Amino acid sequence: MWGSSTHNTRIERLWLEVGRCFARGWRAFFTRLERLHNLDHNNSQHLWLLHHLFLGEINDDCGAFEQHWNSKPIHSKEAKNQSPNAIFFLGQVENGTYVDGLDKVHPDILDRYYGVHGAPMQREPHQSGAGQDPEEEENRQLDAASLDQVVQDIADGQQTHVRHNAIKPPSASSPFSDLNLFSETFQRLEESKFLPYGFGIRAKEWQDSIYPSSEILVTGKRGQKELLISLPDEIWKSRAERWCQGLSTMIAVQLHET
C-alpha cells in the first residue's frame, strides 16, 4: 500500500496491530544489529544468515499473532461480535465440515481432467461464455498481434500507478560450499557459550558496560518521528549473541574455504 489513507480499512488496522504486536520488535532488533553488531543490510550473505537464524522464530511470532487475532471479536452487524474462530466453529456445526475429495490428487492430474483445453477464448464485452449462439455472433477473433496490443495497452494504463522499478531480491542461496561445516561449527560455538570479540556483544564493548534494553526506530516520511521500542534482555540479548556467534562462524568458515 502507498499514499495517505482515506479509509480506516480493516487491512490497515491489521497491519498496525502486526507492527505493535511483534513486527516493530524485530525491526528494532535488526536496527540494533546494524548499529552494534556488524550487520550490513547490503550484504546478501548477512541477509541469508538472518533468515537462517531467525526466520523460524519470526514465523512463530506470526503464528502466535494469528491465533490472537482470530480470537478477537469482530465488531460488525454480520459477525455479531463473534471471533473468526467462533464463526468457523459455528459454521461447521450448522453446515457440516467440508471434505475435499481431491485434496490428495496431484495438480497436474487435476489440470489434465478438469482444466481448460486449448487456447483461452477471447470473448466480446457482451459475452459471458454461456448462452451465446455462435451463429448469431460475428465470426471475429483477436489475432495474436491484437491480443498483445491489448495487453500492452493495459500495462501502459497501469504504469502511472507504479511508483518504482522492480526490485531485484537478494540471492537466497547458501554462501557456503559445505553448509554442514558451518552448521556443525556454529553448533559447537553456541553450546560453548563463547562470545566472539569485535562484534559488540561482550560487556567490555558496551557503553558504560550496560547492554541497552531499548532501540529507537526512525519513522515518518521525512524520518522526523522516533519510536522507542523496548527490547527485553531475556528475549533479545540471547538473539544478539546468536547473531554474533553466527556471523563470526560465517567469517571463519569462508576463510577456511578460501
Q: Pull the grid cell for residue 209.
A: 558496560
Q: Mean pLDDT, to the nearest integer, of 62-68?
A: 94
Which of 94-98, 138-142, 145-149 is predicted with the least confidence, judged by mean pLDDT? Answer: 138-142
CB count in 10 Å sphere of residue 16: 12
Residue 213 falls inside a structural domain? yes
Q: Mean pLDDT, to the nearest integer, of 103-114?
A: 83
Cα 19 to Cα 14: distance, rounded to the nearest angstrom: 9
Cα 35 to Cα 51: distance, rounded to the nearest angstrom: 19
Cα 238 to Cα 97: distance, rounded to the nearest angstrom: 44
Cα 41 to Cα 149: distance, rounded to the nearest angstrom: 41
Residue 48 falls inside a structural domain? yes
Per-residue pLDDT reduced to its tens digit, 142-174: 566 677 777 787 777 777 666 677 777 767 788
Q: How far does Cα 179 stand from its chain's mean position?
A: 24
Return the closest-CA partner of residue 31 out of 231, 249, 256, 225: 231
Residue 249 falls inside a structural domain? yes
**Residue 78 CB partners (closer than 8 Å, separation 6+):** none
Percent of the chain's residues with pLDDT above 70: 82
Q: What is the pLDDT of residue 224?
A: 79
Residue 199 falls inside a structural domain? yes
Q: Pull the grid cell for residue 173.
A: 542461496
Bridge partners of residue 225, in order along the sequence: 219
Establish how many alpha carbons lie within 13 A of residue 4's alpha carbon, considering only the half-sphere containing its beta carbon. Answer: 2
Residue 77 falls inside a structural domain? yes
Percent of the chain's residues with pLDDT above 90: 47
Say what the pTM is: 0.69
pLDDT band at 1 (very low <50, low <70, confident <90, very high): very low
Q: How many domains does the chain have?
A: 1
Length of the chain: 258
Residue 47 falls inside a structural domain? yes
Residue 205 falls inside a structural domain? yes
Residue 251 falls inside a structural domain? yes
Per-residue pLDDT reduced to its tens digit, 211-242: 999 999 988 777 778 999 999 999 999 999 99
Res 12 pLDDT > 80: no
> Do 181 and 253 touch, CB atoms closer than 8 A?
yes
Res 61 pLDDT > 80: yes
Domain of residue 216: give its range: 10-83+174-257
For residues 80, 86, 90, 93, the Cα torsion angle rounded to the nearest 10 degrees is: -170
* Residue at grid coordinates 490428495: 104
